Chain A
Amino acid sequence: MTAASAKVARRRAADLAFKVFCTIVTLAALAALATILWSLISQGLPGINLRLFTQSTPAPGSQGGLANAIMGSLMMCVLAMVMALVVGVLAGTWLAEYGGRSAYGSVVRFLNDVLLSAPSILVGLFVYEIVVAPLHSFSGFAGAVALALLAVPVITRTTEDVLLLQAATLREAGVALGAPLSFVIRTVLWRSARSGLLTGALLAFARISGETAPLLFTALNNQFFSLDMRHPTANLPVVIFNFALSAYDDWRQLAWSGALLIAATVLTVTVVARIVAKEQSRS
Chain B
Amino acid sequence: MTDLALSPSAPPPRRRAAPRGAAIARVFEGLCFAAATFLLAALSGLLISLLIGGWPAIRKFGFGFLTTATWNPVTDVYGAAGPIVGTLVTATLALVVSLPIACGVAFFLTELCPAPLRRPIGTAVELLAGVPSIVYGMWGLFVFAPAFSKYVQLPMMMAAKPGSLLEKLTMGVPNGSGIFSASMILAIMILPFMAATLRELLMTVPAGVRESAYGLGATTAEVVTSVTLPYVRTGAIGAVMLGLGRALGETMAVTFIIGNSHGFPASIFDSGSTIASTIANEFTEASTPMHTAALIALGLVLFVITFMVLGLARLMLRTQEARS
Interface string of B135-146 (1 = CB under 8 A from A): 111110111000
Q: Is A144 interfacial (CB-CB < 8 Å)?
A: no
Q: What 0/1 pattern do residues 103 to 125 of B give for CB contact below 8 A with A?
A: 01101110111000000010110
B21, B220, B248, B311: the one contacting A19 at CB < 8 Å is: B220
Would you call B276 and A25 a contact (CB within 8 A)?
A: no
A87 proximal to B (CB < 8 A): yes
Interface size in chain B (residues, C-beta < 8 A) = 89
Q: Which of A34-42, A45-53, A54-62, A74-82 contacts B (4 or more CB under 8 A)?
A: A34-42
A182 at the interface (CB under 8 A from B): yes
Question: How many whole Å from A19's CB to the nearest CB in chain B?
Answer: 6
* Chain B residues within an 8 Å CB radius of A43: 142
CB of A147 within 8 Å of the partner chain: no
Interface residues on chain A, number (Cβ under 8 Å) = 94
**Partner-contacting stretch, out of A8-16, A165-173, A222-230:** A8-16
B249 at the A interface (CB under 8 A): yes
Q: Is B127 an interface residue (CB 8 A)?
A: yes
Is residue B166 contacting chain A, with contact meaning CB distance below 8 A? no
B270 at the interface (CB under 8 A from A): no
> Do A181 and B25 touch across chains, with their CB atoms under 8 A apart?
yes
B283 adjacent to A216 (CB under 8 Å): yes
Minimum Cβ distance to chain B for residue A77 (Å): 13
Q: Mark B34-55, 1 if CB is under 8 A from A, else 0.
A: 1111111011011001101100
CB distance from A125 to the nearest CB of B (A): 5
Q: Roughly how many angstroms separate A207 CA and B132 CA in the complex, as a whole number? A: 8
Given A12-B219, A28-B101, A183-B21, the answer on whether A22 and B107 have CB atoms closer than 8 Å is yes
Q: Per a CB cutoff under 8 Å, which of A95, A105, A114, A245 touches B307? A: A114
Kindly identify which residue among B28, B35, B138, B248 contacts A119, using a CB–CB cutoff of 8 Å: B248
- A270 at the A/B interface (Cβ < 8 Å)? yes
A129 and B38 in contact, given A30-B121, A39-B139, A121-B279 (Cβ under 8 angstroms): no
List residues of chain A with CB within 8 A of the CB of B306. 118-119, 122
Asked if A94 meets B250 with Cβ closer than 8 Å, knowing A29-B191, A36-B139, A183-B21, the reply is: no
Which B residues are in CB contact (< 8 Å) with A114?
43, 307, 310-311, 314
Q: Is the CB of A119 within 8 A of B40?
A: no
**Which residues does chain A contribute within 8 Å of B121, judged by CB atoms?**
26, 30
Residue of B nearest to A221 (CB): B284
Contact of B108 among A23, A156, A206, A211 (CB under 8 A): A23
Asked whether, in the complex, the Cβ of B132 is within 8 Å of the Cβ of A210, the reply is: yes
Q: Complex Cα distance A153/B134, Å? A: 22
> Is the CB of B172 closer than 8 A to any CB of chain A?
no
Distance A22 CA – B103 CA, assembled complex (angstroms)? 8
A262 contacts partner chain B, Cβ-Cβ < 8 Å: yes
Given A18-B221, A126-B45, 10 extra CB contacts under 8 A: A15-B222, A19-B220, A25-B104, A28-B101, A90-B34, A90-B36, A111-B40, A114-B311, A217-B283, A259-B138
Could you jot down 9 A-B contacts, CB within 8 Å? A22-B105, A36-B188, A39-B142, A40-B135, A110-B318, A111-B43, A125-B279, A212-B133, A237-B252
- A-B pairs, 4 with minimum CB distance: A210-B132, A119-B249, A25-B104, A90-B35
